[in-house]
């Protein structure tokens, strides 16, 4: 357990957000072409994302900050997957929302 806590909590949050985004990727692939194996991939990614979250919350022990950072990291990764891989578009309101979320996490992180 000590070795898990030696890794900075932001690394764990990034890893967790990436696993969550991978789960979102497989969810989109499943929506486009439903196959049972995709459900296994989706569940595996979400489980790994949760397991990566646990050392972060254990280390920082501030749900409000860790949760907000995780939300924005996973949001950004998911949006990038939608834009770059699936060719989705963002509206102006969506862009403003993402910018606002990044500002919020920056302010929370300063605490």
**pLDDT tens per residue across span 22-79:** 999 999 999 999 999 999 999 999 999 999 999 999 988 888 888 888 888 888 898 9
Mutual angle of helices 63-84 and 92-109, in 10-degree steps: 150
Band (pLDDT 50/70/90 cuts) for residue 111 is: low
Q: Per the structure, how many domains does the chain have?
A: 1
CA atoms of 26 and 76, how far apart (whole Å): 16
Segments forming the whole domain that contains residue 83? 2-109
pTM here?
Answer: 0.81
Angle at CA 81, nearest 5°, toward 78 and 83?
A: 110
Instruction: Summarize the confidence of residues 65-94 as an average pLDDT.
Output: 90
């Amino acid at each position: 357990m000590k070795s898990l806590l030696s890794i900075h909590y932001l690394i764990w949050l990034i890893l967790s957000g990436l696993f969550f985004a991978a789960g979102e990727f497989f969810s989109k692939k499943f929506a486009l072409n439903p196959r049972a194996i995709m459900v296994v991939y989706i569940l595996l990614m979400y489980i790994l994302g949760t397991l990566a979250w646990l050392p972060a919350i254990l280390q920082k022990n501030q749900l409000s900050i860790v949760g907000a950072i995780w939300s924005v990291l996973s949001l950004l990764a998911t949006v990038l997957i939608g834009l770059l891989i699936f060719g989705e578009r963002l509206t102006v309101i969506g862009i403003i929302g993402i910018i606002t979320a990044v500002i919020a996490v920056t302010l929370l992180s300063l605490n």
